[in-house]
Amino acid sequence: MGSSSFLTGTNAFKGVLLAALLTLPLLGFSDYVLHIAISILLWAFVYTSWSIMGRFGLVSLGHGAFLGIGAYGTTMLWNHYGLTPWVGIPISIVLSGILGLLIGLPCFRFKITGHYFALVTLALTEVARLLIVALRDHTGGSLGVTPVGMVSPENPVSFYALQFASKSVWFYIVVGVWLVGLLIWRAVDRSMLRYAMEAISQEEDASASVGINVTRTKLTVTVISAAMTAFGGAVYGQYQQYINPETVSGIAISLQIVFAVIAGGMFVQLGPTVGAVITILLGEGLRLGFGNQFHGLDVTIYGLMLILFIIYMPRGVLGKAIDAFAARTAPPRVQPGE
Amino acid sequence: MLTIENVSAGYGTFQALFGVSLEVRAGEAVAVIGPNGAGKTSLLRVISKVISMTGGHIAMEGQSIDEVPSHQIIELGIAHVPEHRRLFPRLTVEENLRMGAFVASARSRYEERLAFVYELFPRMKERRHQLAGTLSGGEQQMCAIGRGLMSGPKLLLLDEPSAGLAPVIVQQVFDLVRRIRQEGYTVLIVEQNIQQVLKVVDRAYLLEVGRIKMSGPAGDLLANDEVRRAYIGL
Amino acid sequence: MEFSLTDPFLWETVIQGLLFGGVLALLSLGLNIIFGVIDVVWICYAELIMLGMYTIFFLYTEYGFPLPVAFAAGIVVVAILGTVLHYLVIRPILHTEPINQLLVTGGVLFFLQGLATMLFSVEFRNLGVSFGSFEAGNMFFPVSRILAFVVSLVAVVGLWVFLKKTYLGTAIRAISQDRDVMPLMGVSPAKIYLVTSALGGGLAGLGACLLVMLYDIHPAIGLTFGPITFMVCVLGGLGNMIGGFIAAFIFAEFIALGGFYAEVEWGYVLAFVFFIVMMFIRPQGILGSRN
């Protein structure tokens, strides 16, 4: 991984960075700053999950469905059956993985790719959003829902309900989640290197002829990605203590996931994280700078950035930076992992 | 009518033509013959600007066309019937012919030329509502030539009209070319079927690896020992 | 609710679905032609419609233009937007991976939605024009819906005639079959793409005229109509006009009947699930040929 070592460096360097990150809650920042940091890391995890399949050319516009299953599955099981998130989250993850399998299997078998795959998955995420709305008697519909609270000022921690009043606790949880995401990304990257090249180049017939089971490889990354995304959705619900159909499902959030990854860079390990940093800081920065005076300004700039990114920087900010760095420091070589 | 002077052209780093010079006079039929990969198709493509030239000059009726973009070539009276015919398979025969008359100057005479093409190729009239993709190879060639004629060209460029056709049909295609000549069209034809084409044209050029090797009246080339040995197999 | 074929409400619902199908058919038309010809999916298509709706709304309510003038202006504005979209955004990446073109228009979606939010706020606006209702037996139908249905049919037929009978229309169909040979016909592909984009935009503008009579306008309305429009096009076989037309009515009936027997969301859920299943059974669309 010549290129990822540029930003993550040696293990020692990585350790120092991580340690610095971990001291963040100890530095006396306000809850607001911690909240931003948590949001970035949490969405970075979700974006990383998406990129696990996105980088293989499987551009899903349907990840809102998986996010929604994670968030609503966990919350519904808790609110209606009193099932602890410790059980609810795994159940939601499994459900999401099964859904990924159900949608992926026919798609890959019938070679539904490109536009068509994007639009089928778009239908999926809309189904998820509409189901949440339609089942309003159970889900609270468009108004959203709050997991039944177990914490209070006197009792700020509930392991059983996976609810914590302290932002610092959430920060450490989310750092862990994020790291797990990066590790999975790398594990997939390493084990799938050989397949990755075939899938990216879309030479499906060629790869099939050299004995690679294309369908199975694609299904594997899809299920991993779907399961991880559901996990992200569940953690999001537990942290926010409020979810609604628009924020965890539907076309808007699905597109947001895709575009953040594109902005950061789809083909490098930390690309999605950079995407999360860019998009969240942009939104917050504009909100702080202009207040709500220019409601919609962040989305406008965001959209404009995406257009410019895709036209001029299709490999994303981090991808571009790494390319530029690699071009300066080393003779060009093939980097199959990228 | 058409003068090509010292033209070079290629695709990317591959050079297909090296300083080719050639002339087609009004009313003539000229063939460019040569083996596969000699640059024959590239020569026609450079005339219609599908590929750009890297050197030399081309003039149509004394007027330079070096800077004319591809989609304006037809307005100068040059119609190019491309290799593999390239009909629009899901348009009908008549719609294909209509595309041949797309340029503004041709539209006003659409009906007249359509009648002319149908008279020339009665088969096309029978099939006019059929999708071009469902025609036989010979019929497709008729349709492609007809499409070329719809713009009322002064010069018709034909790229391998006999390629991929059964021997019986090849004979018919050359009959077609002969009839087009009789109608007074100036024709520049590129062919691998050397023996046949040399019987139809006035003059010919032999192109090898992107260079003109020989040129002269068709009969001379047909009688030339070297040509006969190398290309006609006698 | 009991199922009964003599239930007048059921028939009213079926006919309402039919009318809605006409609107969907028109909405999908512009997107379909863009895809069929340029091979690009404008994810921001419904946002173009949204801007058309605002154009009509402001010209009519704020500036006091007569409704027909406002409608014409809406169509022209969106047609221009379509051309600009193609020229500035699609053209530079036309030769890269197709998915990039889909994604870049997604950026345009956010851009236009954000811009509309900034300029017009999230407030819901209504044209405030009522055409009354039409009564048939015991059934009532809003005249605006009937009008929308009729306009859709006229537009579909008009487009068909244009594509079938004119030089430009023939060229638009031809270019999707063989782009590279077009210059030999004296056709500049770049120009045809611009014309097609204007046409697709104009059809989106016509869609805006219909929607503005039927629904409130707000910056996120595109998200309501966007997905269903894509589904209609894909189910019909992207680029296949007649297929899209049939698909529009299938979807509309799902939605209408779903709304009749349960809530309208269930109609959409059924329609989308039907779409997903159909994609597996007939990925080329209901009328498409696999190619």
Domain boundaries, chain C: 12-124+140-281
- The topology under which CATH files domain C12-124+140-281 is ABC transporter involved in vitamin B12 uptake, BtuC (1.10.3470)
Q: Which residue of B has its CA nearest to C182?
A: B71
| Greatest CA separation for chain B | 50
The domain limits of chain A are 29-249
Query: Quick one: angle between helices C189-214 and C143-165, nearest 10?
Result: 170
Q: How confident is the model at residue A12 (pLDDT cuts 50, 70, 90)?
A: confident
pLDDT tens-digit profile of C129-151?
A: 877 788 777 777 788 888 888 98
- The chains in contact with chain B, meaning 3 or more Cβ pairs closer than 8 Å, are C
Q: Is C5 on the interface with A (CB under 8 A)?
A: no
pLDDT tens-digit profile of B78-99?
A: 999 998 889 999 999 999 999 9
pLDDT tens-digit profile of A179-210?
A: 999 999 988 888 765 566 555 555 556 556 55
Domains and CATH numbers, chain B: 1-77+154-234 (3.40.50.300), 84-152 (no CATH)
Q: Which residue of A has its CA nearest to C94?
A: A311
Residue spans of chain C under pLDDT 70: 1-5, 285-291
pLDDT value at A171 more than 80: yes
**Taking the CB of residue A125, how many other CB atoms lie within 10 A of it?**
28
Q: Output the DSSP codes for A24-90.
A: GGGGT--HHHHHHHHHHHHHHHHHHHHHHHHTTT---S-HHHHHHHHHHHHHHHHHHH---HHHHHH
Query: Quick one: angle between helices A85-109 and A214-240, nearest 10?
Result: 150
pLDDT value at B58 more than 90: yes
pLDDT value at A91 more than 90: yes
Q: In Å, how far is B44's CA from the nearest CA of chain C?
A: 11
State percent of chain C over pLDDT 70: 95
Interface contact C170-B80, CB threshold 8 A: no
Interface contact A300-C43, CB threshold 8 A: no
Q: pLDDT higher for A315 or C13?
A: C13
Q: Are B145 and B81 in contact (CB under 8 A)?
A: yes
| Per-residue model confidence (pLDDT) at position A10 | 65
Q: How confident is the model at residue A335 (pLDDT cuts 50, 70, 90)?
A: very low
Distance (Å, whole) CA A245 – CA A143: 8
Q: Mean pLDDT throughout A99-117?
A: 86
Q: Output the DSSP codes for A2-30.
A: TTHHHHH-SHHHHHHHHHHHHTGGGGT--
Q: In Å, how far is B104's CA from the nearest CA of chain C?
A: 9
Q: pLDDT higher for C88 or A8?
A: C88
Q: Which residues of B touch C178 (CB under 8 A)?
A: 86, 88
| Per-residue model confidence (pLDDT) at position C162 | 93
Q: How confident is the model at residue A336 (pLDDT cuts 50, 70, 90)?
A: very low
Lowest average pLDDT, out of A138-147, B155-164, C3-12, goes to C3-12
Distance (Å, whole) CA B35 – CA B219: 19
| Per-residue model confidence (pLDDT) at position A288 | 80
| Per-residue model confidence (pLDDT) at position A3 | 44
Cα dist. B104→A240, B47, B92, B147, C167 in Å? 65, 21, 21, 15, 10
Q: Which residue of B has its CA nearest to C176?
A: B88
Which of A103, A127, A315 is the best substitution to test chain C (most C C-beta atoms within 10 A)?
A127
Residue type, C192: I
Interface of C with A in 63-122 (CB under 8 A): 89, 92-93, 96, 98-100, 102-104, 106-118, 121-122
| Per-residue model confidence (pLDDT) at position B190 | 93
Three-class secondary structure of residue B193 per DSSP: coil
pLDDT value at B224 more than 50: yes
State percent of chain A over pLDDT 90: 36
Q: Which residues of C touch A120 (CB under 8 A)?
A: 234, 275-276, 279
Mean pLDDT over all residues of chain B? 89
Lowest average pLDDT, out of A93-102, A268-277, A318-327, B136-145, goes to A318-327
Q: Mean pLDDT throughout A244-268?
A: 87
Q: Which residue of C has its CA nearest to A263?
A: C107
